[in-house]
Chains A and B, each alone.
Chain A
Amino acid sequence: QSALTQPASVSGSPGQSITISCTGTSSDVGGYDYVSWYQQYPGKAPKLMISGVSNRPSGVSNRFSGSKSGNTASLTISGLQAEDEADYYCSSYSSTSTLVFGGGTKLTVL
């Protein structure tokens, strides 16, 4: 049950696009399309932004998109806004019938 690997931090200027990677193995990210992304503000509960690798829940801005290639999933945020500054976590279902999370990425909007 090793954590998925995410960069500790990423940054971008307003209007730019950024991508956060999430690397696992063939037993989790690479083996299933149950990959989710969550946004979390300090002191708040996580909010689902992407499920099923690339599906956006109702109410989530279309500036958020997800994809997967092999054992690595990615979250892309286009047209960066100040309100996007938060922590982002990926998660995946794994072959041991458990869920595994990434270590989290702090997004800074410059």
Chain B
Amino acid sequence: EVHLLESGGGLVQPGGSLRLSCAASGFTFSSYAMNWVRQTPGKGLEWVSGISSSGDSTYYADSVKGRFTISRDNSKKTLYLQMNSLRAEDTAVYYCAKDLYTFGREADYWGQGTLVTVSS
């Protein structure tokens, strides 16, 4: 059974940094692309970033480009999202989502999410 467990969320001041992790199990992690998707409380879903199965290719939404960095450690079956220069508008629940393909195309399984709150 596919299982994704996010961690690392919390309260951070504007301009601060946070690193999210997503521990994966139940599938061959190194064979699939992974994504980060966020959801502002009471609002819709926004794709944030994606990474290919090998980690060689990374992609970002314009809203986070230059501030967020996605990475993965296939030996540890873990996905990361380094978030710098955080803004109030980055406040959201962050989900990690497994992709159906080796390059990001469609997310299938999702974790339960971790809440990031950016506030002074």
Interface residues, chain A, with chain B CB atoms under 8 Å away? 1, 3, 32, 34-36, 38, 44-48, 51-52, 57, 89, 91, 93, 97-104
Contacts and interface: CB of A to CB of B under 8 A. Distances in A.
A48 B47 contact: no
B44 A101 contact: yes
A45 B35 contact: no
Interface of B: 35, 37, 44-47, 50, 57, 59-63, 95, 100, 103-113
Contacts, number: 68
A48 B45 contact: no
Contacts of B62: 1
A99 B47 contact: yes
B106 A52 contact: yes
Contact of B107 (A32, A36, A103): A36
A41 B4 CA distance: 18
A101 B44 CA distance: 8
12 contacts: A36-B107, A44-B112, A48-B107, A51-B106, A91-B45, A97-B57, A98-B47, A99-B37, A99-B47, A101-B37, A101-B44, A102-B44
A89 B105 contact: no
A104 B107 contact: no
